Amino acid sequence: MVSTRTLTADLVQLAETPACLSTAGLTGSQYLAANAGYLRLIERVWPEIENKELLAAGSALGSPERDRRQWMLETNGYFDAEPAEVRSATGRIIAVEINSQRVWCSGVACDLEYFMPLPPAKPCAAGFGVSVTSSRRASFTPRFSGSLKSMSVLDRHIMIGRILSLAAEGAILARQLARQPEAKETLGTIIERLSAYQVVNRASPTRIGFDFSDLAYEQLEELLLRVAGDIWLLIMACSDADIVEMLRLLVVKYTVPRPVLVDW
């Protein structure tokens, strides 16, 4: 016999917008289902949030506004087009509108939520897409490449996006700490190449965030390997040991530099 929980979870998967199903409650509510759009929105793979509490391990942000939305569900059973914020795995605060309905799934009170992401604020003039001027493309390590092949396309997209965001933020930090003018200039070039994807990080106004969600997987992978390739070139040329180690930690776990071919 098919349960109402299963049927509602299937409804979440069929939604054309980001959607999730969770148990009801101001605290302690847990994820029961989420579709691909929602996972991409918060940059999470399903095993990270399955049966986890929304506030402790998910994207929900505790606030008086969330308390008010929960009160509306308790008293009216629904709300429409309510402004809210969710947190991505990389720490970005994303503005959304939420439509929610209180439903009963196999005797348990649950909340069915649909999300409409709002356009992110841009801190500066954006560039245009993936640059073709990047110096040298790195390669994935055999182990990491094998792990990617075992993942679904959705999980690969989320994972590569998170790695690229961390690499981009690491390049910004390294540029701030670099003492050599040449290293600062090279890191500035890498950051400028990613300027099209910079967004205001509302979780920390002093940090620059990155949003790569509009890129197809192939574009995302290509951009990551080109950024990693440029970082590897800087690692080999830089004499600042601290910056070299910082940059190496950004790329060594998943890429290797492309060998330099010498013609005799």
Q: Where are the domains of the chain?
A: 4-117, 139-256
Strand partners, 82: 98
| Alpha-carbon gap, residue 190 to 172, rounded angstroms | 9
Residue where the block lists tokens 């890429």: 255
Model confidence at 126, in pLDDT bands (50, 70, 90)? very low
Give pLDDT tens digits for 6-23: 999 999 999 999 999 999
Structure tokens at 4: 């109402």
CA quadruple 116, 127, 89, 155: dihedral sign: positive
| Alpha-carbon gap, residue 119 to 254, rounded angstroms | 31
Rg over alpha carbons for the chain, rounded to the nearest Å, is 21
| Alpha-carbon gap, residue 32 to 110, rounded angstroms | 9
- Asked if residue 86 lies in contact with residue 94, where contact means CB atoms within 8 angstroms, the answer is yes
**Element containing residue 101 per DSSP (H, E):** strand 93-105
- Asked if residue 36 lies in contact with residue 15, where contact means CB atoms within 8 angstroms, the answer is no
Q: Does CATH place domain 4-117 in 3.30.450.20? A: yes
Computed over every residue of the chain, the mean pLDDT equals 89
- The amino acid occupying position 98 is I
Give pLDDT tens digits for 137-184: 999 999 999 999 999 999 999 999 999 999 999 999 999 999 999 999
pLDDT at 133: 47
Of the listed ranges 64-73, 116-125, 168-177, 228-237, the least confidently predicted one is 116-125
Number of residues assigned to the chain: 264
Burial of 216 (0-12, 13-18, 19+ CB in 10 A): exposed
